[in-house]
Homo-oligomer: A and B are copies of this chain.
Amino acid sequence: MGDAFCLEFKVRDYECDLQGIVNNAVYQHYLEHARHEFLVSRGVDFAALAKEGIHPVVVRAELDYKRSLRPGESFVVETTCTREGKVRIVFLQDIRHADGGLVLSSRFVATVLDGRGRPRIPEGFAASVLGEGSGS
């Protein structure tokens, strides 16, 4: 993914399960952390949003498991983000092993809930995260 936001990780032993590989659910933790770091890098302030009663939420997750990660292995989460319709933001996230191999590809559909729990992407949010509204 060309202009992806890249975040490096290393597998910690406690993230692995009986099978000696990273547990399936743990990948969601990696991906969530990468999305949050991506959003922070774009200027999103979760605490400030929460104070206004604004909550980004995931409404759908799709994960394709290609290959397992093992203890001590290094990998990168690559994150890109686009708008889909009025109220949805789609994150495409790949996990790539340090050797270049694809470990997992995923797609997360998110929205932002306003103070009344209705989906609505705040203007400032769209501008900073998606680079919208900055054109002439």
When distances are taken between beta carbons in the complex, the residues of chain B under 8 Å from A72 are: 40
Instruction: Answer yes or no: A64 CB below 8 A from chain B CBs.
Output: yes
When distances are taken between beta carbons in the complex, the residues of chain B under 8 Å from A32 are: 13-14, 23-25
A12's nearest neighbour on chain B, judged by CB, is B33
Q: Are A24 and B20 in contact (CB under 8 A)?
A: no
Least Cβ–Cβ distance between A114 and chain B, in angstroms? 15
When distances are taken between beta carbons in the complex, the residues of chain B under 8 Å from A23 are: 14, 32
Complex Cα spacing A60 to B36, Å: 23
SS class of chain A's interface: helix, strand, loop or mixed? mixed
Q: Indicate with 1 or 0, residue by residue over A4-39, a CB within 8 angstroms of chain B CB atoms.
A: 000000001110111110011110110011001000
Q: Are B18 and A13 in contact (CB under 8 A)?
A: yes
> A13-B33, A62-B62 are known contacts; what are 17 more A-B pairs with Cβ within 8 Å?
A13-B32, A13-B36, A14-B17, A14-B29, A14-B32, A17-B17, A17-B18, A18-B18, A18-B71, A25-B25, A25-B29, A46-B71, A57-B65, A60-B62, A61-B61, A61-B65, A62-B63
Chain A interface residues toward B at CB < 8 A = 12-14, 16-20, 23-26, 28-29, 32-33, 36, 40, 46, 50, 55, 57-65, 71-72
Q: List 7 A-B contacts (CB under 8 A).
A: A12-B36, A13-B17, A13-B46, A16-B17, A24-B32, A58-B65, A60-B62
